[in-house]
Copies of this chain bind each other. A is one copy, B any other.
Amino acid sequence: MPAIAAALAPHTGAAQVIGLTGSPGVGKSTTTNELVRALRARGHRVGVLAVDPSSPFTGGAILGDRVRMQDHATDSGVYIRSMSSRGHLGGLAAATPQAVRVLEGAGCDVVLVETVGVGQAEVEVASLADTTLVLLAPGMGDAIQAVKAGILEIADVFVVNKADRDGADATYRDIQGMIGLGERAPGGWRPQVVRAVAVRGEGIDDIVAAIDKHRGWLVEHGELRRRREARAAAEVEAIALGTLRDQIGSLRNGTALSDLAARVAAGTLDPYTAAAQLVANLP
């Protein structure tokens, strides 16, 4: 991996990275599919990185939703990669930028990164994009859940999908209300809210227009460079932590950690003292 990383380094930053996140069932895959169609129609080479939590039960990612993406499987201008969230040194925060770089190296000028947006790790990954779309659907737990999941802060564009359903207007209003409550610096970006019915292709052009508008703002305010440096910093930090985690993991194979854990479980040692002993034993 490090050797490949060195070879890919010059391709860094070639593509526009669009994050797309939301709770299970809001229509992320359908929306991604339609966005790919719209971006292809504009002549872009499009990479799709679908981040699925992996399951030890199956040993890999469950790709049920990906079946829909087969619409684009024979299009040579579309690259699709599914990625599980386990087994990567440094986790998603390290693995995702690397995978984006691979797609950039393959000539993609737009990369869509689709994640399930409820866990902290997935939220952090989405926040590493140039532009982050947060999908909501009526009656899916609504705006308060978006706040709870920490996704309100990372959204540059909200998409109220399934906008033909009951409750769509309420969801739209709630989100606008929450945006109104947020603090913004003068000249700061005010998140856009777009209605869509992705399954019928409705609202997709509006989403693309909102992405374009945000892109213009990023460039105008020097934010694009700032975001990319922040993304690189998070990646480097995650890899460094992964290295240290591996070092601790190698201690786990010895008896050090299990001896300490048995004493903590028995109540004869507190976990902070145990952790300090563990760190002191690192190479």
Contact = CB atoms under 8 A, between A and B. Distances in A.
- Interface on chain A toward B: helix, strand, loop, or mixed SS? helix
B275 A12 contact: no
A41 interface: no
A170 interface: no
A149 B10 CA distance: 35
Interface of A: 1-2, 5-6, 8-13, 23-25, 52-58, 61-62, 64, 85-86, 90, 94, 97-98, 116, 118-122, 140-141, 144-145, 147-150, 152-153, 182, 225, 228-233, 235-237, 239-245, 248, 252, 257-258, 260-262, 264-276, 278-279
Nearest to A122: B119
B267 A236 contact: no
Contact of A229 (B148, B242, B258): B258
A137 B6 CA distance: 47
B278 A237 contact: yes
Contacts of A279: 240, 243-244
A188 B229 CA distance: 49
Interface centre among A58, A233, A269 (most CB of B within 10 A): A233
